[in-house]
Structure 1
Amino acid sequence: MTVSGRSADLLSVENSALRPLAERMRPAALDGMVGQRRLLAPGSALRRAVESGRAHSMILWGPPGCGKTTFALLLAQYTDAEFRAISAVLSGLPEVRQVLAEAAQRFAEGRRTVLFVDEVHRFNKTQQDAFLPHIERGTILFVGATTENPSFELNSALLSRCRVHVMDAVSAEDIAIALQRALDDEDNGLGGQGLKVSDEALMQIAGAADGDVRRGLTLLEIAAELALGEQGEITQATLAQVLADRTRRFDKGGEQFYDQISALHKSVRSSNPDAALYWFARMIDGGCDPAYLARRLTRMATEDIGLADPRAQQMAIDAWDTYDRLGSPEGDLALAQLVIYLASTAKSNAVYAAFNTAKKDVRQYGTQDVPLHLRNAPTKLMKELGYARGYQYDHDAEGGIALDQTGFPDAMGERVYYQPVERGMEIKLREKLDRLRAARNAARK
């Protein structure tokens, strides 16, 4: 059945009204995009390329709701190209080949295609390789969107044919601008509904969006629906309902996850308990497994504190055990206490550095024979072969240490790996080892 005339116009309007607010409010020009000033500022290289119609295939790397899809739509508009979108989550290789075949036919007819691939990092190598010849020939203007680090998730062949542009999370102030536009727009937004909302309430919604413009517009749309049944005002009571269960951006297996655990580790290493506690709370809030954090904190106790404070490792084990016994949320407090202690106590990576140097020597010198004087000699034959010959029992030596006895293979000579720092317990260890090493050197001479 076909629909024509005024009926078709009415149907189009109704279908438009059914679309979510975030979809209806997509900007029609680059100036309408909020955020991304660094990337799309007037006169910037990317903006000049887009506005001149000489854009290149690219990878857009950024968090959800920062404008990746919107930018791809605008790119097709500015380059007068057909826009096609596929999702790596929903599409397989047959659909990819069909889209590419259609693009090739369109190219033969003198028109290009902007092919937008959402979540491109979810395609495997074979699927990613399917785009390569079409990018090279110019059949498609490829735009891949990803929330993950392209260096890890995309193959080098695809990366070599595209430019990577990093898009930032949108600030709360910029999201508030997008929300106000939606409130003022009578054609596509919420204008004309008589909604009343204070600047403070608008900023609360913008803050709750957590850098995601689409999320902010969705929250505003929900708040508006509730407000229309309450004298048309978005009150604090309305916001309490809308924002009650909001969560922060956090991907348990993605880029943000590793960025945040890195921030936690480096804050502990920098002896900044306040920053360390903040990142710990961020990860707990985002749903990170506390058992994973307990394991990483135990690693910090050995890598960055070591013998400067030997109690740290035991405290880490105790906190881990406490969490295992109590679970969340009670056990989270034991881990928080550990975070503060690790960040506050003396630091040393001397053991970590010594172990790495020793491992390097093991690889470099290969399988060296154990010196005869250090070998065990439980049988008569071993004794006749010289095993344990010349070994000095340290407890019988003056001072309890046989100073002229080496502990290394003959080919290596004496080595020094462990260099205690002048912090915490290692101050005393350094004093003792300095005296002992000096005495050994004198004895060998």
Structure 2
Amino acid sequence: MNEPLAERIRPKNLDDYISQQHLVGKNGILTNHIKQGIIPSLILWGPPGIGKTTLANIIAQESDRPFYTLSAISSGVKDVREIIEKAKNSGGLFTSKNPILFIDEIHRFSKSQQDSLLGAVEKGWVTLIGATTENPSFEVIPALLSRCQVYILNSFDKEDLIALLDRAMKKDEFISKRKIELLETDALIRVSGGDARKLLNVFELLVNSSEDPVKITDTFVLEKVQKNTVHYDKTGEQHYDIISAFIKSIRGSDPNAAIYWLARMIEGGEDVKFIARRLLILASEDIGNANPTALILANNTFQAVSVIGHPESRITLSQCAIYLANSAKSNASYEAIGNAQELVRKTGDLSVPLPLRNAPTKLMKDLDYGKNYKYAHNFENNFANQEFLPKEISSTKLYEPGNNPRENAFREVLKNRWKDKYKY
């Protein structure tokens, strides 16, 4: 019994696959692809331990295709070319039976390694399936990304994880023979961090280290499973918990805590570009127009760490984190776009007012496109009081300035300009 439990009960078909119903349910998009026998090159994006590798294997099996696999951690350009050559000789060009090349952690491939895949994907020698825990928009080169569909895999919820445990107890050759009482699951699920592989490995450890009957309670789990809370696992629960603590410390204007959590990530070997991207998001989401320079510094930080790399980039990240922590805070821009999107979903495609429409042709001008539009620069203070929203939502205020010096100044300007339209 050398094979881990997670491998022994790995699903072999779509019917056994738990979760991701938006992709592999009865009417899921991947289910339809498999039924039609047409599998596009694709990127599976989601957190660790949610079944990306399993899904790739199932796609190959159910579509009856040759299956080749590479790990971005241990493979180079030479390995890629060797696999592509094998794939060329095992499948027909531009047929529904093109071999599948699965690359785990494709975000770890360098630009040259990703470049080596382009020709094979474009010419139909292989159907590429890449798995990544990182945003492919940043980690996959545009030329390759444009040739792939990106599908997002969601984290397992509690019911999914319990279903996995139930399957193990019923179907695994060894576990099913044991007398197991699953009395509580909260600690077990918490320890796993939502990673199915880790959940099953911990479950197997608990069962193998105990005599029958095995009564699994939260206390039992915490006593048996030794967790080193200082350890930083950049592919598991610690990865998400520590970046969360880092962001919340900056949002809470505590530079000391921010630098501590930054150091935890750096010492744990976290990807510096991942940290910089989160700072870039925070600069808009939590600071915004309270200090617009924050976005400029965060963007420059991202560019700098991409060029500098580790370890020197830690200094730039430290500078940026301290600056953002000390900046005035406002989530007004974040709230405004959320309010606007909600309004769009409720009201649908409202017509653009005629004065705001573009009129490049005579017919459009005859239809009054652009008529009565007031060109702001022709008026005093470059402002003309006119309607810019569809009439159905006229006077709807979506942006509420934050309570900070810069946005309080915005509020005064808006109050004077739009006193008859919006209430500021």
TM-score by length of 1: 0.56
2:44–2:131: 8 Å Cα contact kept in structure 1? yes
- For residue 193 of structure 1, report the CA deviation from its aligned partner: 1.7
Q: Does 1:27 align with 2:7?
A: no
Compute the displacement of 1:246 (Å).
Answer: 6.5
Cα deviation for residue 158 of structure 1 reads 0.7
Paired position in structure 2 for 1:220: 203
Q: Please identify, of 109-118 and 178-187, the stretch whose mean Cα deviation from structure 2 is larger.
A: 109-118
* CA spacing shift, 1:150–1:299, aligned 2, 3 Å: closer
Partner of 2:54: 70
Conservation of the 8 A alpha-carbon contact between 1:119 and 1:147:
yes
SS in 1 for 2:103: strand
1:182-236 Cα shifts (integer Å, max 9, x gaps): 011143x5101222331x1x343123222211111111011111123x6433355
Label 1:193 to 1:166 Cα distance change in 2 as closer, same or farther (>3 A).
same
* Percentage identity across paired residues of the two chains: 29
Contact 1:208 1:246 in 2 (8 A): no
Residue 44 and residue 244 in structure 1: after superposition, are their counterparts in 2 closer, same or farther (change >3 A)? same
Mark the CA change 1:119 to 1:244 in structure 2 (over 3 Å): closer, same or farther: same
State the match for 2:314 in structure 1: none
For structure 2, the residue ranges without an aligned partner over 5 or more in a row are 292-320, 333-380, 383-400, 414-424
Give CA-to-partner distance per residue, 1:294-346, whole Å, 9 cap, x none: xx7x989987767xxxxxxxxxxxxxxxxxxxxxxxxxxxx9xx98xx89x98
Which residue in 2 is equivalent to 1:206?
189
Which of 124, 128, 142 is the aligned partner of 1:142?
128
- Partner of 2:177, secondary structure, is coil
Specify the SS of the correspondent of 1:131: helix
Return the offset for 1:157: 1.2
Aligned to 2:338: none
**Aligned-partner Cα distance in 1 for 2:289–2:177:** 60
Q: Provide the residue aligned with 2:369 in structure 1.
A: none
**Please, which of 65, 71, 81 is the counterpart of residue 65 of structure 2?**
81
1:234 alignment counterpart: 216
**Residues 379-428 of structure 1: CA distance to partner in whole angstroms, max 9, x if unpaired?**
xxxxxxxxxxxxxxxxxxxxxxxxxxxxxxxxxxx99xxxxx89467899
- Following superposition of structure 1 onto structure 2, how do residues 74-223 of structure 1 map, counting pairs within 5 Å? 74-108=58-92, 112-187=98-173, 190-198=175-183, 200=184, 202-223=185-206
- Structure 1 residues 204 and 286, CA gap change in structure 2 (3 angstroms): farther
Aligned residue number for residue 322 of structure 1: none
The answer (yes or no) to whether the contact 1:66–1:169 under 8 Å persists in 2 is: yes
| 3-state SS in 1 of match to 2:107 | helix
**Displacement of 1:50 after TM fit?**
1.8
Q: What secondary structure, in the 3-state scheme, does the structure 2 residue paired with 1:142 have?
A: strand
Q: Is the 8 A contact 1:250 1:286 kept in 2?
A: no
Is the Cα–Cα contact under 8 Å of residues 219 and 242 in structure 1 kept in the other structure?
A: no
Letter in 2 for 1:196: E
Equivalences, count = 302
- AA at the equivalent of 2:20: Q
Query: Using the alignment, how far apart are the partners of 2:113 and 2:247 within structure 1?
Result: 34
133 and 238 in structure 1: CA distance in 2 versus 1, 3 angstrom threshold? same
Runs of 5+ consecutive residues of structure 1 not aligned to the other structure:
1-16, 307-334, 350-413, 416-420, 434-445
Shift of 1:289: 6.2
Q: Does the C-alpha gap of structure 1 residues 255 and 197 become closer, same or farther in structure 2, counting only changes over 3 Å?
A: closer
Superposition deviation, residue 129 in structure 1: 1.8
Please state how far the C-alpha of 1:124 moved relative to its aligned partner: 1.5
What residue identity is the alignment partner of 2:42? M
Partner amino acid for 1:79? S
Query: 1:118 deviation in Å?
Result: 0.6
State the one-letter code of the partner of 1:240: L
- How far off is 1:256 after superposition? 5.6
Larger Rg: 1
For 2:176, the aligned partner's letter is: G
Matches within 5 A, 1:278-289: 284=261, 287-288=264-265
| 1:22 shift after superposition | 0.3
Question: Alpha-carbon deviation of 1:116?
Answer: 0.7
Distance 2:146 2:407 in 1: 51
Distance 1:422 1:64, change over 3 A: closer
